[in-house]
Chains A and B, each alone.
Chain A
Amino acid sequence: MTSNMPLDKNRSTDVDSLLQENSDLKRQNQKLAKQVTQLIKTENRLFQFQSSLDRQLKTYQKLTDLGNALNQACDSDTVIDLAVEFALYELEFERCIFFSLNADTQQLYVRAFDGYYDETFAKVIQTLTIPWADLFNDAHPTTPLICSAHSSDSHLKSWCSALGMDEYAAMVLHHETQSTLGLLVVGNTAEMWNYHTRVFANSSAITGLTNLSNQVSIAISNIRSYASQQKQTKELEKIVQARTQEIQQKNQFLKHTLRQLKNAQAQLIHNEKMLGLSQFVAGFAHEINNSINIIYANIDVASGYMYDLLAVIMSYQKQYPQDNHPIQRAVEDADLDFLQTDLPKLFRSTLTGAERIQNIMLSLKSFSRKNEAPRKRVNIHDGIDSALMLLEHRLHSDGNYPNIEIVKHYGTLPAVECYVAELNQVFMHLLNNSIDALQTQSESAVIPRITIATESQNNRVIICITDNGPGIPQEIQAQIFEPFFTTKDIGQGPGLGLPNSYQIIHNQHGGRLEFQSQIGLGTTFEITIPLELNP
């Protein structure tokens, strides 16, 4: 027994030691287990804080995105749609209604709404109106209306049914001038509020909603300011436009007056010139006619004298047939046989020349018509032919220019009442211009030709004068009726022919003078005048 004592004692010591060690380990284990549970709690809190921070960060990011979107919005409707969408999809309320205020009736009416409503209720919401005074005592409330599920405010509760929400928050949107921009209402139904952001006063959701309302207020205010500026700008633009139009009209009037002045001046110059020319032509024609009449009369007498003298010479010749007789020698020297045949020819030729001069004078008289009434019913073709007669010398080749062919397609025209002298001047101008144009292409292979066509249509006559000259360049076509515009060399014409012709046809005759021209093909001037002049 004794010998076993130390061993037992040792064993007992070892067991005690192990038990102590075990007990220490258990205590440590329990301590560690407690630490672990504490760590788990701490970790849970950490998750919650992290989750909360993540949500806040997401909300701020979304608000920033919304701010950017609102800044880019151009109209209030877009802003309101963005606000409603944000309230539903980011703030996660079930339903959202945006009211606008009718300033005249002081009624809130639904501008936009979203969230799920059945079709029947959606129609009701669409037409919902709320008198401002039924919701607010103040014209400019500064605090939102919060109707939580547990609210005991019967006034706020009374609107739940109309809004289709069992809890709601209503934020008034103000302009900086304190005018009301709208009312943003968000909320939930009891059926679905577990899955949406709940409405509680002083909650982070209301803070988010306040941020949203502020951003939307600013955006709508900016849009209104911009719209107001745009309106002012448009009004200013209208004033400027009106002034510009006024100035343009005055400018047009001045241009017209200037053109009239130029025309009057040109007309005056032309009239003076034509008056002088007519007087000159009339006097000239009178004098020439007198002279021609003398020549006519004298030639007739001289012709008789000539035959008498020739008969006398013949008698002398018969009486003195001797070759050496002085009479016979004088007959031979004078080549009496030739004289006998040539002298009548000479007289006939002189008579023809006189007749031609007489015709020219008649044409000149016809052209000037100084001695006739200004308005007369005439055959238009006579006037055209007179002008052609006067221009005959220009139609024939002079070595530099080839002959110009005249082609007439005269229709059957009734007598036309017109200012004859003036109308003849027009024919003269137009034909002269055609000849001028044709003579600028002397080396052309084309036979120069002027075609004159007339016809009668619906109490009007149309006279077309067409040349196959080089045509009028496009860039000067708009100017050819302007007074003093000319393409001719100095001294070749003052540029009054066409303007005066235009005046004569348009103003005096109530007609039209128009032209068509193609480069390389020629030009047609078309005169249209009525058969009867206006009284």
Chain B
Amino acid sequence: MSTQAGVGISQHHNPKVAGQTAVANALEQADITQPDFVFLFATVGYRQEILVKTVRAATGNAPLYGCSAAGIIAQGLADESNFAVAVMVVRSDELRFYHGALTGLSQSSTAVGQELGRRISQANGADAIALFLNADAITVNFDDLMTGLGQTNQQPLPIIGSLCGDNFAYQKTYQYHNEQVISDGISWALLSGNADLVTGISHGCVAVGQKRTITRAKGNKIYEIDHQPVLDVLHDYLEDDEIESWDRTAVNLGLGLVIPGLAGYGADYGGDVFIRCMMSKDEATGSVAMATNINEGSDFWVTRRDTEKMKQAAKQTAFNVLNRLNGKTPKFVLHIECDGRGKMVLPETDKQAMIAIMQETIGRDIPWIGLYAYGEVCPIKDHNCLHGFAGVLSVVC
């Protein structure tokens, strides 16, 4: 029983050349010619359909799962340019992937979640390990998605996932399923078989100022904070041009929400608050949209990243994961970083160093694929949660 995995990357601007190069490198590292399953993450400078078709063709039409990202991660590399692609090929007689894609998040994230639950129920057996999930960051309501999923899938699963990125354009993100490239949807892969999953998560945010209260909200939209229009409140923290372009708003300012029942998770996560970022704003209605539902009366703190805390927490998370491996050899690592922990806040060398220390801790020779996302999904206390400004390490071993 064995699993062979390999990761290849390319930064070529031509999607055909990039796809072929990344696959060739991945196959070479895995020392295989035909994979059973393919992970693909790419930034949005590429014509997505051409890239995905190229990767499919180069991998012998192996089942493919992936999404667009704000950047890609591999061993020794964290690239947030518009042109970077990472491919992981897997060949295994001990792991199985059951994968698919659905659209319609903007219409009803709940309905998508319900359909996802129905689909995975077919394969969600006793040896199910985890559900990998990518969702459109612009249109998803993560809470509704999870609610729908819970309604049709009775077997709880740890979910490792990301909200797909588009390099701070906040216009359109892409989910990959085989040769399909979709938006406003999810792509997913249910991992089953003879392996374990070890995860770790951390953020590096600190609360600033006074506690504030959401006084008017509906669904995932916030209208008022402390009885003031939410966009006016943002002006206290941001300049007009920053609010106008929004990309910096999304990565610079987070909301630290108190989630009842999840207090005391511990130092690994960094406190009792969940950090959420504001995905978009709507000038017409005077609202900002989150990726999860917001309850009126919720208390929160405006949060800022603390780079030192972020680096320390990342290092600690890697050590914690290593300890939880109990000596088992990782088959591969899926690493999801928030785009708010990349080039927007860290000088390039610091960013690379932060990624490097995690890789050195877990293992430099482990197949390692990752992405910079607009939101990170990782379970806390068996509860699948969406996080902001977080780094998630998931190790299949």
Contact B210 A33 (CB under 8 A): yes
Complex Cα gap A32–B348 (Å): 33
Asked whether A116 lies within 8 Å of B13 as measured between CB atoms, the reply is yes
With A116-B14, A194-B169, A195-B45 as contacts: A45 and B209 at CB distance below 8 Å: no
Are A194 and B248 touching (Cβ within 8 A)?
Answer: no
Query: A36-B208, A37-B209 given as contacts; is B239 within 8 A of A45 (CB)?
Result: yes
Q: Is A116 within 8 A of B208, CB to CB?
A: no
The 8 Å CB contact of A44, one of B82, B171, B209, B242, is: B242
Q: Which residues of A contact B347 (CB under 8 A)?
A: 50, 54
For the A-B complex, the count of residue pairs with Cβ-Cβ distances under 8 Å equals 65
Query: Which residue on chain B has the smallest CB distance to residue A197?
Result: B82
Query: Which residues from B are CB-within-8-Å of A192?
Result: 45, 47
Does A29 make an interface contact (CB < 8 A)?
yes
Q: Is the CB of B209 within 8 A of A33?
A: yes
Which residues on the B side are within 8 Å of A515 (C-beta)? none
Q: Looking across the interface, which residue of chain B has its beta carbon closest to that of A44? A: B252
- Which range holds the interface residue count of chain B? 20 to 34
Contact B239–A44 (Cβ < 8 Å): yes
A44 touches B210 (CB 8 A): no
The reply to whether A40 and B348 form a contact with Cβ atoms under 8 Å apart is: no
A532 within 8 Å of B (CB atoms)? no
CB contact list, A36-69 vs B, under 8 A: 36-37, 40-41, 43-45, 47-48, 50-51, 54
Asked if B210 and A29 sit within 8 Å, CB to CB, the answer is yes
Min C-beta distance of A455 to chain B, whole Å = 74
B205 CB → nearest A CB, Å? 13
What count of chain A residues pass the 8 Å CB interface test?
A: 28
Contact A47/B210 with A37-B236, A88-B13, A192-B47 known, Cβ cut-off 8 Å: no
User: When chains A and B are docked, how far (Å) is the Cα of A114 from the Cα of B17?
Assistant: 12
CB distance from B107 to the nearest CB of A (A): 25
Residues of B within 8 A of A92 (CB): 82
Q: Is the CB of B304 within 8 A of A116?
A: no
* Chain B residue contacts of A51, Cβ below 8 A: 343-344
> Does A41 lie within 8 Å of B239, measured CB to CB?
yes
**Interface majority SS (helix, strand, loop, mixed), chain A:** helix
In the bound complex, do residue B210 and residue A40 qualify as a contact, i.e. CB atoms below 8 Å apart? no
Report A-chain residues with C-beta under 8 Å of the C-beta of B237: 37, 40-41
A48 to chain B, nearest CB (A): 7
- Chain A residues in 8 Å Cβ range of B169: 194-195
Complex alpha-carbon distance, A54 and B345, angstroms: 12
A506 within 8 A of B: no
Q: Do B14 and A36 touch across chains, with their CB atoms under 8 A apart?
A: no
The yes or no answer to B15 lying at the interface (CB within 8 A) is yes
B167 proximal to A (CB < 8 A): yes
90-149 of chain A: CB within 8 A of chain B? 92, 94, 114-116
Contact with A along B37-62 (1 / 0, CB 8 A): 00000011101001000000000000
Chain A nearest CB from B43 CB (Å) reads 8
1/0 contact string of A174-197 vs chain B (CB within 8 Å): 000000000000000001101110
CA distance A4 to B44 in the complex (A): 78
How distant is A153 from chain B, measured CB to nearest CB, in Å?
28
B171, B236, B302, B344 — most chain A CB neighbours (10 Å): B236
Q: Which of A32, A40, A54, A115 counts the most chain B CB atoms within 10 A? A: A40
- In the bound complex, do residue B13 and residue A115 qualify as a contact, i.e. CB atoms below 8 Å apart? yes
Q: Tell me whether B304 and A43 are in contact (CB under 8 A).
A: yes
Q: Kindly name the residue among A37, A114, A196 whose own CB sees the greatest number of chain B CB atoms within 10 A.
A: A37
Most buried by B among A33, A43, A44, A88: A44
Chain A contacts to B: CB under 8 angstroms: 29, 32-34, 36-37, 40-41, 43-45, 47-48, 50-51, 54, 88-89, 92, 94, 114-116, 191-192, 194-196
What are 9 A-B interface contacts by the 8 Å CB criterion?
A: A32-B209, A37-B236, A40-B238, A41-B238, A47-B248, A54-B348, A191-B47, A195-B44, A196-B45
With contacts A43-B304, A44-B239, A194-B169 known, what are 11 further pairs, Cβ within 8 A?
A37-B209, A37-B236, A40-B238, A40-B253, A41-B238, A47-B345, A48-B248, A116-B16, A191-B47, A192-B45, A195-B43
